Amino acid sequence: MRSDANIAGPMTDPVPGPRTESTGADVSRETPPPMDDTPIGRAAQLAVEALGRAGEGLPRPEQTRVIVVANQKGGVGKTTTTVNLAASLALHGARVLVIDLDPQGNASTALGIDHHAEVPSIYDVLVESRPLSEVVQPVPDVEGLFCAPATIDLAGAEIELVSLVARESRLERAIQAYEQPLDYILIDCPPSLGLLTVNALVAGQEVLIPIQCEYYALEGLGQLLRNVDLVRGHLNPTLHVSTILLTMYDGRTRLASQVADEVRSHFGEEVLRTSIPRSVRISEAPSYGQTVLTYDPGSSGALSYLEAAREIALRGVGVNYDPAQAHIGAQNDPSMVEGIQ
């Protein structure tokens, strides 16, 4: 049975600064009037709203949703999307596991998880048949979020898996044997279509494809979609592309809107209405071993990932996402784009 203990998560306390509950003659100085007409004022107001919304909780799926984040094109935001969506879902009250299948281990780094060579990792699960429960670690900053880290050993797993029995389904069997209750499992894939990615596709039910709003955005996607079809036809009949997420959106450029329109015309309802802006804060957060949700909760990137997570969660239980209810417009507001900060 699932616990509701972490619906609020660790971020329900308001952002640092003057508090509205101050009393006495200092109230007028400690609680300045709203500053909606300035970028800083808007960001502060959005941060407070986002932290409140993160604690609201979302409807939980009836069974664990296993989502594969894949795109063989590098630099599109796979790892960034994986860790920030996972943190957003956890802050909304879900129990979330991130499985890092990229030998670079960037998802592990971003979540503040130690992943040097001696650490038990997803390599041991795939190649040595170690139970997944023995390698999963809790993420320090976000309650309800867990990570199965990747180490450099994973770089050789592609070759070692070739000779193993049931090489395509070893991750699936490990997940099925994992007994802890989870709402979501997000699998961060390497930028290739080898055996590691195939293991993820066999283990998952849904595929989430991040697409950057830049030139050549759709290049190479055909091969990924063909691989998804092959896996669905031969190994995993439940697999489907459920979500397309537009990343690196810059509302100041015509190219970004043109790419977004092209992606929406190709994929239709699979494309989330929320897009992720180009953001310095998103790029900075991993160097501090954090997601952008804890590094800078008021940034446009954090707000957008919170809203994208809400949209994914509502879609999963068949509830129509209403953008009119969203308080987050940073991704479409050029003044909130952080690419030049």
Amino acid residing at 267: F
Q: What is the pLDDT of residue 252?
A: 87
Per-residue DSSP letter, 236: -
SS3 187: strand
Distance CA 133, CA 90 (A): 19
Report yes or no: 88 and 297 within 8 Å, Cβ to Cβ.
no
Cα angle value 297/289/144 (rounded, 5°): 65
Tokens standing for 49?
């709203």
- Taking the chain (341 residues) in runs of 10, the rounded mean pLDDT of each run is 42 40 43 49 54 66 95 87 96 95 93 88 95 95 94 90 90 95 95 90 96 84 89 94 93 89 90 93 92 92 94 82 48 39 33
Distance CA 121, CA 100 (A): 9
Q: What is the pLDDT of residue 230?
A: 93
pLDDT tens profile 47-101:
555 555 555 678 889 999 999 999 988 888 899 999 999 999 999 999 999 999 9
Q: What is the pLDDT of residue 158?
A: 87
Report yes or no: 204 and 84 within 8 Å, Cβ to Cβ.
no
Distance CA 145, CA 92 (A): 11
* Predicted TM-score of the model (pTM): 0.79
Sequential DSSP letters for 219-233: TTHHHHHHHHHHHHH
Question: Residue holding tokens 């669905």?
Answer: 232
Tokens standing for 185?
């499992």
